[in-house]
Amino acid sequence: MTISLTRLTNDRAQLTKVFSLDADGRVVKHTKAFLAHGEVERIEVADLHGFAALLQSLKHNQALAYGLTVKPRATVVTKDVMHEHPGAIARSRDYFSFAAGPAMFMCDHDADHASDPLNSADALRDALIKACPALAGAPMLWCASSSSFIERNDGGAPVTGLRGQRMYIPFLQGTDIERAGAALYAYTWLAGYGHYLVSKNGRLLDRSIIDGSVYQPERIDFAAGAMCHPPLVQRRPDPKIWNGGAEAFDSRLIPDLDAQQRIQLSEMQAAARARVKPEADRVRAAYIEDEAQGLAVTQDIDIDRAREIVRAALEDETLYAEFVLMPEEGRPVTVGEVLDNPARWHNKRFADPCEPGYRNDRRVAWLNLRSGGRPYLWSWAHGGIRYDLVRQPRLLKLQAGEMSRLADDSLDILRAQGEVFDFGDGAIARVAEGRVHIATPTWMLDYLGRVIRFERFDGRAKDWVPADAPEKLAKFICDRTGERGLPKLTAVITAPTLRPDGTALDMPGYDEATGLLFLSEERDPLRVPVAPTFGQVQEAFAELWAPFAMFPFADDESRGVMLAALLTAVLRRAIPTAPGFAFDAPAAGTGKTKLAQCVAVLGGNSAAVYAPPRDEPEASKALFSLLLGGAGCVIWDNLVRPLEGAVLNAFLTAAEFSDRVLGASSNKTVPNRAMFIASGNNLTVRGDACRRILRCRIDAASETPFLRSFPFDPLVKVRDSRQVLVRAALTVLRGYQTLGVPMGEGELASFEVWDQLVRQCVVWCADMGVGGAVGLKDPAASTLRAADENPEKVLLGRVMEAWLGVFGDRAVTAAEALRGETDSLEESPAREKLRGAVEELSDGDRNFSARRFTAYLNKHRDEVVNGQFFANSQDSHEKVLKWRVKTILG
């Protein structure tokens, strides 16, 4: 077996623990584990013996990761300076992913976290096999951690013995590491090794014999030995190997827990929590009291208020304005000071708010004041906790007869909070988990109670006392359609995009020009390059195309449509309209649904697919419902009927969409910024949808396309690397805007902005050879082909051809045409051809009338097919409508 992994080299500091003695002869340990600038390289080992040699060769500034980088070798920097280092990557999931082939699985045993520490390599292996017996035959390699076996070489007592341990297992499929790691951790609980620790502030920490939080492709294994300053030395034993000649372990032998096992695990964990709850309650109460006493003094606040603030931080993960934070450098600051000066404090590092001494590290927490949503502090302590930063709620006094004034004041507060919006023609929207949700009066009542403190005057007490938010106020605000003055929300995005004028929207927050709310959980959201070079555009295209390079696109036109779909996905929320896309294949299992899902996920949407609606009313309600919920993509999967319909046509060309709200008697209008995608085998597009749908065909040229194998899952790749792929797409788009000129003929009607931003970019890429060996063609060619293949158009052409054969240039009524009257009453091939065309038109309906035939002719009046069209004229004497086929002159 050949195992691929990544070696990281830090240019500026160590990537390991440092041990030394202070002036008093005491051992001091420092953790040097911050990689700001360095190099990553993909390496391979043939077996566990080769891996053992690699571990022993690591320098103090080197470490390993078991995911693979997008490039075999690259510079690695932090995200905030990537724009200064073209071609560099960051150590994030955007740039690392587990291999589809053999990869290394690491079990990390920390003696400090074990209820009964395992004191040898064999003890750790035996415990893992007890948890999962299938591991008995697995190849394994053991080594001691970097903090183990520190000694003095001057005759002093040993500093540490065996501390942490690592057990490495080569997996057959690296893409299963995250799932299998979670399953193995659960099995260690079932085997009796799980327990809860009580932290210094009374929180319960879930622990077992292995760390369950290390299974990410970008996670660093600080596997090099410690850096020891004399007289300290490290004498770790050599790695130990079992079953060294065995094949890589099939992780499917660590199955997910079944229903009974999940119940057993839940019961075991509940019992374990109950055992330590008294101790946790005691520690938590003491912590709250100690912290509150100090906070009351330093912030000059009432002790009860101080207790409330500390309790909110510990139990609700909410940090109020008076809460004190410990920044990486400098004096302590309050949450209020931080919120008042976002330019100063955004992106800064802090100690954990509830455990400032955690690992003696004041970089363990990160502050995000520009997420586009509520400001928060993320701490990596104990597996990760998010703390919301909130100001003291504003005070409003309730007085009789002043509901309008109260609503005005409440709306002033809501506008300042920036968390609710006007949506469509009357709804109030809130944003949660990156999606739009319509706010109900009940939700509004709860929200008002969280952001505003209400008081009413108590006549008996002769004083103002706390009060609940009035129900009438919540309804009053929800019903104030058009008068709320809230920002108007169009859609929510979670990655940068371009505005319709081509400018970049890459700073989180609400954008008034587009009505978009940009939410970002990224420490440093990727910025869109202003003027990329042609070389950078080519590199960006290669990056964007990489997850899709193995799909069997039928031709250059299909690849052009695919590129247009990718570019549309990153722009759709910002532009008013865009054509739909159809992924078509000759057989099931070719990958059309996977392509549709990849495009949806690239746009920041769910990969969910929907069965096509049965009729027009169902289509309208389904599409409206998805828009009302803030959906950014609609995938109709496995169509068996032609893609057509008035509802679909309107949906694709309307920046707003209306329908009746379920349970109400009124219509609502909501913004339409959703991408439409369909998939089907030999999919047919009919009618006006032909110019609205771009079709991409894939063909594996195989009887069993579903049996093909790939080195990675494109959908997982797009999901894990979405931010990078979005930036690559925007780099291509910006490259066209700064380096190119429009090259596509004409303009796709109803999609003018899309045509300027997307279609012309694809044509420019094709003409300039941006894709290299990837052949591209104008995606609009797809609409021309669809129009030519449109069954309605083909049938209309046959009707006109047969009509000419019977009547020539003579004008006749629809009734006469149905009878097939000619100068001769004899049957002729021309009459037979016309009869066949009309029969096809009527779909075999023997009651097909002259009125219906007239309606058909009116629908297609002046529509040109093969240079000919139907025209009508009114007979002045008989006052009947007659038709003839005319030919375009010239």
Angle between helix 403-417 and helix 441-451 axes, rounded to 10 deg: 80
What is the distance in angstroms between the CA of the first residue and the CA of the last residue of the chain?
72
User: Confidence class of residue 317 from pLDDT cuts 50, 70 and 90?
Assistant: very high
Asked if residue 767 lies in contact with residue 813, where contact means CB atoms within 8 angstroms, the answer is no
Q: What is the pLDDT at residue 706? A: 62
Q: What is the pLDDT at residue 384? A: 87
- Spatial distance between the Cα atoms of 887 and 866, rounded to a whole number of angstroms: 9
Mean pLDDT of 761-788: 87
What distance lies between CA 27 and its chain's CA centroid?
Answer: 46
**In this predicted model, what pLDDT tens digit does every residue of 737-746 receive, in sequence order?**
999 887 778 7
- Spatial distance between the Cα atoms of 847 and 633, rounded to a whole number of angstroms: 42
**In this predicted model, what pLDDT tens digit does every residue of 29-47 receive, in sequence order?**
887 567 889 999 999 999 9
- Spatial distance between the Cα atoms of 221 and 406, rounded to a whole number of angstroms: 57
Q: What is the pLDDT at residue 611? A: 92
Domain locations in the chain?
3-256, 394-489, 534-785, 790-887
Q: How many CB atoms lie within 10 A of CB 635?
A: 22
Give the highest mean pLDDT range of 182-186, 393-397, 500-504, 505-509. 182-186
- Spatial distance between the Cα atoms of 45 and 27, rounded to a whole number of angstroms: 36
Q: How many CB atoms lie within 10 A of CB 731?
A: 22
Q: Which of 138-142, 196-200, 702-706, 846-850 has the lowest mean pLDDT?
A: 702-706
Task: At 717, give phi and psi (nearest 5°).
Answer: -65, -45
Q: What is the CA radius of gyration of the chain?
A: 34
Does the pLDDT of residue 707 top 80, yes or no? no
- Spatial distance between the Cα atoms of 665 and 111, rounded to a whole number of angstroms: 65
Helix or strand holding residue 695 (H, E):
strand 693-697
**In this predicted model, what pLDDT tens digit does every residue of 203-219 receive, in sequence order?**
999 999 999 999 999 99
Q: What is the pLDDT at residue 278? A: 97
Question: Using CA atoms in the order 54, 57, 58, 59, what is the torsion angle rounded to 10 degrees?
Answer: -170
Pairing assessment for the beta strands 227-228 and 96-97 based on DSSP bridges: unpaired
Q: Which amino acid is at 604?
A: G
Q: Which two tokens stand for residue 203?
A: 């929180």
Q: How many CB atoms lie within 10 A of CB 432?
A: 11
Question: Using CA atoms in the order 530, 536, 540, 543, what is the torsion angle rounded to 10 degrees?
Answer: -150
Tell me whether residue 510 is exposed, middle or buried, using C-beta atoms within 10 angstroms of its C-beta: 0 to 12, 13 to 18, 19 or more: middle
Helix or strand holding residue 265 (H, E):
helix 259-299
Asked if residue 235 lies in contact with residue 159, where contact means CB atoms within 8 angstroms, the answer is no
- Spatial distance between the Cα atoms of 102 and 247, rounded to a whole number of angstroms: 10
**In this predicted model, what pLDDT tens digit does every residue of 113-140 receive, in sequence order?**
666 778 899 999 999 999 999 999 999 9
3-state SS class at 64: strand
Q: What is the pLDDT at residue 217? A: 93
Beta partners for 652?
none
Helix or strand holding residue 17 (H, E):
strand 16-21
Closest CA to 726 of 566, 552, 565: 566
Mean pLDDT of 367-378: 89
Q: Which amino acid is at 182?
A: A
Which residues, including other chains, have CB under 8 Å from residue 63's CB and lie 6 or more apart?
7, 8, 10, 15, 16, 35, 220, 221, 222, 223, 224
CA dihedral for 274, 278, 283, 288, sign (positive or negative): positive
3-state SS class at 442: helix
Does the pLDDT of residue 519 top 50, yes or no? yes
Does the pLDDT of residue 711 top 70, yes or no? no
**In this predicted model, what pLDDT tens digit does every residue of 75-97 receive, in sequence order?**
999 877 877 787 888 888 888 98
Asked if residue 718 lies in contact with residue 633, where contact means CB atoms within 8 angstroms, the answer is no
- Spatial distance between the Cα atoms of 191 and 185, rounded to a whole number of angstroms: 10
Q: Which amino acid is at 646?
A: A
Task: At 690, give phi and psi (nearest 5°).
Answer: -60, -40
User: Confidence class of residue 824 from pLDDT cuts 50, 70 and 90?
Assistant: very low
User: Confidence class of residue 265 from pLDDT cuts 50, 70 and 90?
Assistant: very high
Which residues, including other chains, have CB under 8 Å from residue 53's CB and lie 6 or more apart?
45
Q: Which long-range contacts (CB under 8 A, 24 or more apart) does 150-155 make?
A: 150/19, 150/27, 150/226, 150/228, 150/232, 150/233, 150/234, 151/232, 151/233, 151/234, 151/235, 152/231, 152/232, 152/233, 153/230, 153/231, 153/232, 153/233, 154/231
Mean pLDDT of 406-414: 93
What distance lies between CA 501 and its chain's CA centroid?
Answer: 25
Q: What is the pLDDT at residue 822? A: 44
* 463-488 b/e (C-beta count within 10 Å ≥ 16 → b): eeeebebbeebbebbbebeeebebee
Q: Which two tokens stand for residue 26?
A: 């005491």
DSSP 188-248: HHHTT--EEEE-TTS-EEEE-SS-TT---TT-EE--SPPEE-TTEEE-PPPPEEESTTSPP
Q: Which DSSP category does 755 fall into?
A: I
Beta partners for 872?
883
The total number of residues written for the chain in this structure:
890
Q: Which of 271-275, 606-610, 656-660, 742-746 has the lowest mean pLDDT?
A: 742-746
Q: Which of 107-111, 727-731, 840-844 has the lowest mean pLDDT?
A: 840-844
Tell me whether residue 676 is exposed, middle or buried, using C-beta atoms within 10 angstroms of its C-beta: 0 to 12, 13 to 18, 19 or more: buried
Q: Which of 91-105, 331-345, 803-817 has the lowest mean pLDDT?
A: 803-817
Architecture of domain 534-785: 3-Layer(aba) Sandwich (3.40)
- Spatial distance between the Cα atoms of 687 and 682, rounded to a whole number of angstroms: 17
Strand 491-493's sheet: what is its strand order?
491-493, 516-518, 509-511
Does the pLDDT of residue 826 top 60, yes or no? no
Share of the chain above pLDDT 90, in %: 59
Mean pLDDT of 519-547: 87
The full 3-state SS of 331-359, as one line of letters, equals: CCEEHHHHHHCHHHHCCCEECCCCCCCHH
Asked if residue 645 lies in contact with residue 616, where contact means CB atoms within 8 angstroms, the answer is yes
Give the highest mean pLDDT range of 183-192, 658-667, 675-684, 773-782. 183-192
Closest CA to 781 of 796, 798, 803, 766: 766
Q: Which two tokens stand for residue 528?
A: 């869109």
Q: How many CB atoms lie within 10 A of CB 122?
A: 12
User: Confidence class of residue 425 from pLDDT cuts 50, 70 and 90?
Assistant: confident
What distance lies between CA 818 and its chain's CA centroid?
Answer: 57
Q: What is the pLDDT at residue 554? A: 92
Does the pLDDT of residue 705 top 80, yes or no? no
Q: Which two tokens stand for residue 858?
A: 């009116």
- Spatial distance between the Cα atoms of 217 and 201, rounded to a whole number of angstroms: 31
Beta partners for 376?
368, 388
Task: At 788, give phi and psi (nearest 5°).
Answer: -65, -35
pTM of the model: 0.74
Does the pLDDT of residue 483 top 80, yes or no? yes
Mean of pLDDT over the chain? 89
Return the half-sphere exposure (C-beta side, CA atoms, 13 A cut-off) of residue 600.
27
